[in-house]
Amino acid sequence: MGDEFYAIIKLVSGEEILSLIMVDENDGDPLIVLQNPIVIKLLSNNGETYVKVKPWIELTSESIFFIKLDKVITMTETTDEKIISIYENYINEDETEFNTNGNKIKLSKKMGYVSSVEEARKKLEEIYNDIKES
């Protein structure tokens, strides 16, 4: 097995993933070993750029994946500290949105967060009771 490094990989399926990887060159048929691969999407809002992060394969608890080299269009090593910081924050804390500086974003009313579940439940119960009494 080779050395580990962070890489952005473009697959023949069109997916772009970021992962800590190493290349296993055993038996002349190289495999790429992905550790906690993620998909990163850039979003813009009010002149600021945000990064949305999600797992590459969402319905599994596995963290190691293997890809044959023929499924890769291109792969590039990244040493960008911001990208690596976003990746590590996501892997360590399982947060889903960061700004481009790698800082976590707290939800706000502008982003669609209106109330807590408990507050919403109370308001809906009040509406239901008012309708029921009418």
CA 37/CA 80 separation, integer angstroms: 17
Q: What pTM value is reported for the model?
A: 0.64
Evaluate if residue 95 carries a pLDDT over 50. Answer: no
CA 60/CA 30 separation, integer angstroms: 24
Evaluate if residue 6 carries a pLDDT over 50. Answer: yes
- Hey, what domains does the chain have and what are their CATH numbers? 5-108 (2.30.30.100)
Evaluate if residue 63 carries a pLDDT over 50. Answer: yes
Contact between 67 and 13 under an 8 Å Cβ cutoff? The reply is no
Q: State pLDDT tens for residues 99-119.
A: 555 555 555 555 555 667 788
Evaluate if residue 54 carries a pLDDT over 70. Answer: yes
